[in-house]
A and B are shown apart, each in its own frame.
Chain A
């Protein structure tokens, strides 16, 4: 079995690692690292029989992720302070949101940049406030600036002068030019203030979901920030995974999806999934959701209301998601290229794409 398959199996069923020999562990650690899933794996297999030579590596990954989460939440607090005078509570997205909301996939989840969502019509004042608080452009290129502003869903990346941390300021969900356009204003409207209301968390009881070790008592106090609503947090995950192209880190995002839906499904005894399905149409995400659900169902285990078999195209996605050899090296260059092209294709109409690539090529 390839190491990527071993990784999927270990996430799906942690007890499966009991049969691995040391070579298989070496390959597993290497591909998990390459997919930014090592600490997730380390949490997942905690308590399983792990060889003594491997355990320190997993323990270090867990510690490292915990510390990275502390730093990420601090960064969210810094953004909150910067935007507070404007009366804007930043909506946390992706890894920072999962950590702030105490969701089960946060255990070991790698968090890189801080991603926040703010209303598009407040973008200028948000930008000014962030500059005031010490953030600056990573690269101040006029074409990039106008490109991001006119067409993208986020500002060009900003980095903090002294803390050296990046922030991505999103003003909508997908690029303004994308084929699919989720309703960002509605999502912003429905976002929850932190700490989360009981209605969001009260169904969480670790005893009855021993598969995912996450401790609700460590839900961090990130008051003054927001997270997306219980449907939208999944919609954003789907949009990010499916409609945003290259599928780099795709396996990690798919694992996020699986954990989020499983968790909500459990909290609401399945009613959630039905309601969620009804809600996807509102954001034009019906197809991407269905595909994400089929892939997660296939790789990580059954989800309610997912019965359709994999399509031929789904199998291409699988090929791409698992395109890595046992030494962590990316493989299947043609499949990868196809997804790169698909990513650009979905992001903008052909003529615009041609113009963009031409400009970028000339600036090389």
Chain B
């Protein structure tokens, strides 16, 4: 018996099949506001499966399969089935998507213009985007920025926001409980809880935004703002892209256009309030 669900996030359509009901039930609840794939065609497939038949029942563990997989990836316990589904969906995009230049970044929009936040895990980019997305900004995505190869626009990819460890409490007290996923304790990345983006982020996910500012946040670094030159931005962005090499010349052209036309700054901050204030201040300076 298998269970499945299909959904669309921005330009990407997924179908997800699971050997167990629970992960699909959770997905259905959290993605209830998302559309089904256009024309019922899904271009990415995720499979959550038991490596051995009896592993469906005895100490069930979820192996992440799909069009693209990581060999030797460790399975997750069934209680973390939602995380497995999310990781599976991310993997399909990271390894298979070629219709945009992918940048590992979060992004928010206001007045049609976007702030991209680029940084490694722990830099605070997801948390900042989630908090801004609860205020005067529209969340475009917390994981991937999808840059158009021809028009240089960011396509929204507002998947569930994955909040980790201390960020969970930070967000929990600002949003209603029905927009939060189950608390997943003791995952390979620590505690994780997913946030359903605000309704406007989902309703407007066809609506792209022009990049206006690139931010390299560093949570815990000395407070302050430092300009980042085009060369440094270029190198850091290529390191944050999973398909830059595969795209060849069009990827290079899109990347060059981005770093030449959009200002970039690094900010150090010690608390979410400080980070959000810094974004607002930079935005005010930038305003046309």
Contact = CB atoms under 8 A, between A and B. Distances in A.
B67 A34 contact: yes
Interface stretch (A18-26, A146-154, A176-184, A225-233): A18-26
A54 interface: yes
Nearest to A55: B41
Contact of B41 (A22, A67, A68): A22
Interface stretch (B43-51, B120-128, B228-236): B43-51
B99 A53 contact: no
Interface string B39-65: 111110101010000000000000001
A63 B247 CA distance: 8
A328 B98 contact: no
A335 to B, nearest CB: 17
A71 B39 contact: no
A329 B65 contact: yes
Contacts of B38: 53
A325 to B, nearest CB: 9
Interface in A314-354: 327-329
B248 A51 contact: no
A318 B247 CA distance: 35
Interface residues of A, number: 25
Nearest to B99: A60
A51 B67 contact: no
Contacts of B13: 53
A57 B45 CA distance: 13
A259 interface: no
Q: How large is the interface on B (under 10, 10 to 19, 20 to 34, 35 or more residues)?
A: 20 to 34
A53 B37 contact: yes
Interface string A49-64: 0011110110011011
Given A328-B66, A329-B49, 17 more contacts: A22-B39, A22-B40, A26-B40, A26-B41, A30-B45, A30-B67, A33-B96, A34-B67, A51-B39, A53-B39, A53-B41, A54-B43, A61-B98, A67-B247, A67-B248, A68-B246, A328-B67
B41 A25 contact: yes
A101 to B, nearest CB: 22
A138 interface: no
B104 interface: no
Interface in B9-37: 13, 15, 17, 37
Nearest to B13: A53
A167 interface: no
B15 A26 contact: yes
Contacts of A52: 39
Given A60-B98, A68-B246, A327 B17 contact: yes
Interface of B: 13, 15, 17, 37-43, 45, 47, 49, 65-67, 96, 98-99, 246-248
Is chain B's interface secondary structure helix, strand, loop, or mixed overall? mixed
B248 A71 contact: yes
A360 B44 CA distance: 36
B9 to A, nearest CB: 15
A70 B251 CA distance: 14
A327 B48 CA distance: 11
A107 interface: no
A71 B96 CA distance: 17
A29 interface: yes
Contacts of B45: 26, 30, 327-328
Nearest to A57: B43
A159 to B, nearest CB: 15
Contact of B98 (A51, A64, A329): A64
A60 B98 CA distance: 6
Contacts of B40: 22-23, 26
A23 B43 CA distance: 11
Given A22-B40, A328-B45, A64 B15 contact: no
Query: What are the 7 A-B residue pairs with the smallest beta carbon separation, nearest first?
Result: A53-B39, A67-B248, A22-B40, A53-B41, A22-B41, A60-B98, A30-B45
A320 B46 CA distance: 23
A26 B41 CA distance: 6
A104 to B, nearest CB: 23
A329 B18 CA distance: 12
Contacts of B42: 26
23 contacts: A22-B39, A22-B40, A22-B41, A23-B40, A26-B43, A30-B45, A33-B96, A51-B39, A51-B41, A52-B39, A53-B13, A53-B38, A53-B39, A54-B41, A54-B43, A56-B99, A64-B98, A70-B248, A327-B47, A328-B45, A328-B47, A329-B47, A329-B49
